[in-house]
Structures are given as C-alpha cells and as structure tokens.
Structure 1
Amino acid sequence: MSVHIQELLAIDRYKQELCELIQVTVNNGASIGFLLPMQKEEAEDFWESHKPNESRILLGAFINQRLIGVVYIELVEKPNGSHRGEICKLMVHPDARRLGVAKALMKEIEKKALEQNRSLLVLDTRDGDHANELYKSLGFVFAGAIPHFARNEKGILETTNLYYKMI
C-alpha cells in the first residue's frame, strides 16, 4: 500500500474528507485542540478558518485516492520569527495508523519549511501520547513541559510537551 503526499492548495475539493478526518481523529481521543464530541459544524468552521494561504501550508496523505492524513505548518510572519514554522494538527485516520503516514507527512512538511527558508520548527503535543515518540524519532528535541496546558476529552487539565528541530 503506497502513501502519496501532496500539497492541498485549496480545501474545497477535500472539505468533506477533511471534516470527517478531524472528527474521527478528535472523537478517537486525539489532543488537537477540541473537546468531545466534535460536531460536523465545528469541523467545517475549523477548516474554513484554516485554509491554505501564504503563511499556511497544508499537506494531505492519500492511499488509493482516499485522504487518510494531514498536517499543516504555520509560517511565522513576525520579522523576528521569519525563520520559524509551527507544525500544527498532524492527523492520521485511525484505520491508517502504523503505516508510516505520520512520518511521511512530517518529512514532507519539513521539506516545505526548508523551501520557505525556515530553519526552526516547533510543535507541542500532549504528554504521554504516542506522538511524543514519533517526534523524537524524527529528530525533534524535547524543550520542556507545561502543566495544566489543555483540557483532555474528559475536561481534565493535562501537560503538554514542547519540541523543536533545527533544519
């Protein structure tokens, strides 16, 4: 099974799949900024307000033309941060996990960051999630933890881990 990664320059063609992906990801416990249960309207609102633009690059992962994962990078526009990008919302459909999709998306988003003259990537993830091991395996460095950073699906405040990578 081959994974194809491509930049999504617009979301219209993929909006339904993007909405389904974020809903199933969140509703299966992913800590990407939302509480349960995620409704269709909330997913639609998210994608409408996070369309690709000059400072946001969105990548999609496909298997047999089915969207099974996404990641995007926010390119910092402040003059003192123009060397930096924040990796946001890495999602892989639960049915497609453990196939190397997340790793492929992360490697490709890193290439896109380099094309935009970025030399530093930053991201955060919930303490204890499997994503921590993924990011470490890709060369991200643990920078620290912030307790009580975000609520989990049960409303309990949890710690987030901060990572960076010089590229």
Structure 2
Amino acid sequence: MSGYKIDDVARETGLTKRAIRYYEEIGLIPPPERSGGGTRQYTRAHIEQLQRVISARDVLGFSLQEIQEYMAYAQELTGHRELYPQLREPERQLEKLREMDGTLDAQLRKLDEKASKILAMKEELERFRKRVTAGIARLEAEDRQSEYDNMEGTENEK
C-alpha cells in the first residue's frame, strides 16, 4: 500500500502541516502508520476524514469541540453500518436501527441549533441593512433636494 506524505495531504486538503498534526493530536483523525524512517504515511481515508473536518469547520461553522462531537457521531454511524449487515435476527437489526436513529437524531438536532443561530444572525443583519439603505436613500434625497434648491436660487438671481 502506498501512503501519502504530509506534504501531499496538505496540498490536497489545503491545510497546513501543523494543522494536520494538530488534528491528529486531538483525535480528529487516527494516527497514521509510520515508514521505517518514521515518516507519517497517510491513507486516502485520512484525507477523506480531513475533508469532512474542513466541511464541518467551513460550511457548518463548527468549533473544534463541535467537530470532535460530529466526528464521533460519524464514527458511531460507520460502526453501526458495518455491523448491521452481519446481524441475522430481526430483533438485533431493529435494535441496531434504533441506535442509528438515535445517533442521527442527535446530529440533526445539532445542525438545527446551528442553522437557527445562523438564521437569527442573518435576520439581524438584514434588519440593519434596511436601516442603512433607508439612511442612504434619505441622504441622497436630501442631497438632490439641496441641489434643486441651489438651482432654483440661481434661476431667481437672473
């Protein structure tokens, strides 16, 4: 198996080498195997996991702690998905599906909380923008009126 060096991973993910090592240190990605010379050998799975971390950070606006929770949920779901096909008894399948449903419910609640905070912030910015555009319109109208008044005064002087 041919691995990826940290420079390759950094180039593909857009992360710094320092960030990659830090994410490994705090458990967002599992430690990679090392070559005989001690060089980290990352896999395609490491890169994909880092891309999920980046999405959670950039797209969802998650903090590192939220990313850790999100990744824990993702790993839990992966474990459930891998185990489910091996179950033969309907009772065990139902139990596993209920566990997956609970995990998905927790993830969806987290995303709903984040989405409602984002929407509240957006609404606040939209209200502020309305006040700003109203101020611009008022000042532009006053400026036009002032120009008109000046033109009228010039006409009357003739």
TM-score (norm 1): 0.26
TM-score (norm 2): 0.27
Bigger proportion of residues as helix: 2
Bigger proportion of residues as strand: 1
